Amino acid sequence: MAGPPGSPSFTLATFNLYMGIDGWGRPFDVIGECRDLAADILILQESWTPDDGGPSTAGRIADALGYQVVHEEGLAHGQVFGPDPAADNRWGPKIGQQGDALLLDDQRLGRRRHRGTRTAIRGTWGVAMLARIPLRDSTVIPLGKLRRDPARRMVISAVTDVDGREVSILGTHMSHITHGSAAQYRRLNASLPDTSTAAVLAGDMNLWGPPVISFLPAWRRAVKGPTWPAQRPNSQLDHVLVTPGLSVIEARIVAHSGSDHRPVVVRLAVI
């Protein structure tokens, strides 16, 4: 339901970047895809920061498109592999419907057969919040690290003003339910703003919509539809959740992505 006529509004998108490459390690136009989202605020997961001091994926996007960036790096350390010479026209090799270009240090999956012949760049994996409208009071809410998860998890939280109306913005990348993310969801629920305020939580939740809402019952889903795997999506893992202080003017899932996730874009009005 849209807000009253003239209600202040803003556009937010969430996008799991898969480091700006496909499953074979081939780069795609991640800056162009983020430009096309035309969002005031971007919540980005799986941004890659190389150890050699080069710019992060989120940093490159922010510099090219004029965004302020709040970046939580170092959620996991590992290596990204260069393009696979055996690549074909698929998004990536058929290994559990996931790519073969990333190996985190604590990942329990073994090294793939062909990785030994490919160039690897060591670095860290993180989450970022990019904004074209001013952010303040940014902070990180830790959710801890689960024993089976190669990455620690957290929430980036900030506040913005939309035509003089205060809105809390939160972005995250949750663990898989098979890793025991229920414990992190309980921590998340206890850390979120009071739902009497205008607030939005967005990110790759690694979980379908109904169980997400079961963990966060005071919030509602702003968009519904499959987002993963991007080429033939069958599951919605990427979500935007809002409190009653925000209404949804428009919501869409982008039809295609160079990543393994499709971006989600919403326009929200402050009631």
Domains plus CATH for the chain?
Answer: 9-270 (3.60.10.10)
pLDDT above 90 covers a percentage of the chain that reads: 89
**How far apart are the C-alpha atoms of 177 and 224, rounded to whole Å?**
19
Tens digits of per-residue pLDDT, 194-211?
Answer: 999 999 999 999 999 999
Per-residue pLDDT of 57-105, as tens digits, reads 999 999 999 999 999 999 999 999 999 998 999 999 875 556 789 999 9
**What six digits make up the tokens of 165?**
């109306």
User: Counting beta carbons within 10 angstroms of the beta carbon of residue 268, is it exposed (0 to 12), middle (13 to 18) or buried (19 or more)?
Assistant: buried
Gap between the Cα atoms of 93 and 225, Å rounded: 25
Q: Which residue has the higher pLDDT, 3 or 145?
A: 145
Span 102-110, average pLDDT: 76
> What single DSSP character describes residue 260?
S
Segments in the chain forming alpha helices (H): 30-37, 57-65, 182-191, 209-215
* Alpha-carbon span 45 to 116, nearest angstrom: 27
Among 27, 23, 218, residue whose Cα is nearest residue 115: 23
Supply the DSSP string of 88-138, one letter for each residue.
Answer: -SSSS--BTTB-SSEEETT--SPPPTTGGGS-EEEEEEEEEEEESS-EEEE
Nearest 5°: the CA angle 263, 44, 184 is 105
The pTM score is: 0.94
